Amino acid sequence: MKKQFYLPYKQASTLFIAALLLFLGCRPAGKSESAASQKSAQTAVPGTNSRDENPSKQQTDTVPEVMDVKDIRFNGKLGRYFSSREFKSVLGAPDSTRLLSDEEPCVTIFQEPDGSVHPKARYLYKNGSRFETSRGKVAIDHVSFEKGDFIIFKNVRLDKHTTLVTLATIFPNATRKIAPIHVSGEGMLRVFQLIEDESHISDGHVEVFIKDGKLYSLHWWFPC
């Protein structure tokens, strides 16, 4: 008869526990690997990187800056709109005048309720700058900086000595789109555009002209 061999109960238990621990130790750490895999997957998905640029921010950063009428003072004293009395007090008599009916512009600043222009509405010219006036009201139409006129914009003086480099620090988005243009009677200038109001209600814009690298003139433009 074959003799059977039995391990004592305590010894058998010890061997079983050792084998079980060995088995568990050889298995991969599932939880830590899962976390690592998730992190890797997140990194691989476009747009999850915190350094990715926000498209809406990129679009905002290309919009031209605003030159709102509330932020400017012509020759440090006048807004864009003022009275005939203020014109005379600050600027004196105009160098010349011309009826709007003689000029026949396609767009005017002051219109009658029916859309017409008052027959006595005029352009006023002073130091190369041009103003429109009607019924005792005056508005700046075009600023020439050549003869000393200037604008204070948000406490910064803009005049004929202001360089394009300086303007680029004030209007970085707008100056990126500067372009050459031929102006009748002036020849080739460079121009960039500013927005008239924060709410973009106006269809017009402000054209800023550069000559020989310096500020030359400024014009409020509106489509016909």
How far is residue 58's CA from residue 216's CA, in Å, rounded to a whole number? Answer: 31
Q: Residue 224 — pLDDT band, cuts 50, 70, 90? A: confident
pLDDT tens readout for residues 36-66: 444 443 443 333 344 445 555 555 578 999 9
The count of C-alpha atoms lying within 13 angstroms of the C-alpha of 68, restricted to the half-sphere facing its C-beta, is 8
Domains of the chain, by residue range, sit at: 69-221
pLDDT tens readout for residues 125-171: 999 999 999 999 999 999 999 999 999 999 999 999 999 999 999 99
Q: Cβ distance 144 to 128 under 8 Å?
A: yes
pLDDT tens readout for residues 92-114: 999 999 999 999 898 899 988 88
Query: What is the structure's pLDDT at 197?
Result: 86
